[in-house]
A and B are shown apart, each in its own frame.
Chain A
Amino acid sequence: MIETILGLSFSFLSFLIVYGMLNKIKLFEKSINVIISFVISFFVLFAFFSSSFFIVAFFSISILFLLILFIVLSAYLFKKKKPL
């Protein structure tokens, strides 16, 4: 169950990122952006199910790293008294 939700979330995330980026660079029209994003998100969905463990492990480690970075940065900026 969790794996399915994760797969769908990854796919949706890739759609959001690709669509957002394509929209920003304004390379194609909006409808083409949507099609490209859909294709890539389907690709991500299938890729996720073929090697889910590595992706999940990678994501977990990255997010833990982000958390560590955030805490250390907060402490450092607290000392410097400068907003982020």
Chain B
Amino acid sequence: MKLKETMEVFGINTNELIFSIFLPFLLFYLILFVFLKRSNIFGDVGNTYYSLTALTISLISILSLYSLGLTRILPYLAVALTVLSFVAVYLFGVFKYSVNIAMRDERFKKLKEEIEKLSSEYEKEKDEKKKEEIKNRLKDKLSEIENIAKQFGLKIYEDWYKKAKEKVG
């Protein structure tokens, strides 16, 4: 028993026409147009040229996928991939955060050593250009160590910190 009659266009179900043919066609067109335009592969030609090329490539893509019968799996593939990649990115973020938390003691010690080394290098250096370079690196390291100290809920009052802070200004 048929529950619902669906409309057909060119012998293709409307649902399939929209979700498996028209929307992927539009998506391919937009992606290709942006990539072509940004790559500037054809030099100084108008937008029409890039648009025509993107349109042709997306037409070929959709027709070749349709002729192989792959358009049916396209929406499912896109949805599955999107969900999977976002889950992977989220899990990676959580993992990175946990590693950061677990390693912050060691990172603090390492940063302290680096700051002390940079401070002594700064004092010994005579070339103004190199001094400026060291100063910038020192600034980055200081802001990083301040961040870690903030996470601990501490303020640094030690000599090495004050010395380095004076150099950065």
Q: Do A and B bind each other?
A: yes
- Could you list which residues of chain A lie within 8 angstroms of chain B, going by C-beta atoms? 2-3, 5-6, 9-10, 12-13, 16-17, 20-21, 23-24, 56-57, 59-60, 63-64, 66-68, 70-72, 74-76, 78-79, 84
Whether A17 lies near B82 (C-beta < 8 A) is: no
Tally chain B residues at the interface, Cβ within 8 Å: 35
Whether A79 lies near B82 (C-beta < 8 A) is: no
- Inter-chain CA distance A83–B64, complex, in Å, is 31
- Contacts A20-B43, A76-B89 known; 14 new A-B pairs at CB < 8 A: A3-B67, A9-B60, A9-B63, A16-B49, A20-B53, A57-B64, A66-B28, A67-B27, A67-B74, A68-B81, A71-B81, A74-B85, A76-B85, A79-B93
Whether A23 lies near B43 (C-beta < 8 A) is: yes
Q: Which residues of A contact B43 (CB under 8 A)?
A: 20, 23-24
For B65, give its contact among A12, A63, A78, A84 (CB under 8 Å): A63
Whether A16 lies near B64 (C-beta < 8 A) is: no
Whether A79 lies near B89 (C-beta < 8 A) is: yes
- Inter-chain CA distance A57–B31, complex, in Å, is 21
- Inter-chain CA distance A56–B63, complex, in Å, is 9
Is B147 an interface position by the 8 A CB rule?
no
23 pairs from A and B in contact (CB 8 Å cutoff): A2-B67, A6-B60, A9-B59, A13-B56, A16-B52, A16-B56, A17-B53, A20-B49, A20-B53, A24-B41, A24-B42, A57-B64, A63-B61, A63-B65, A67-B24, A67-B74, A67-B77, A67-B81, A72-B85, A75-B82, A79-B89, A79-B92, A84-B34
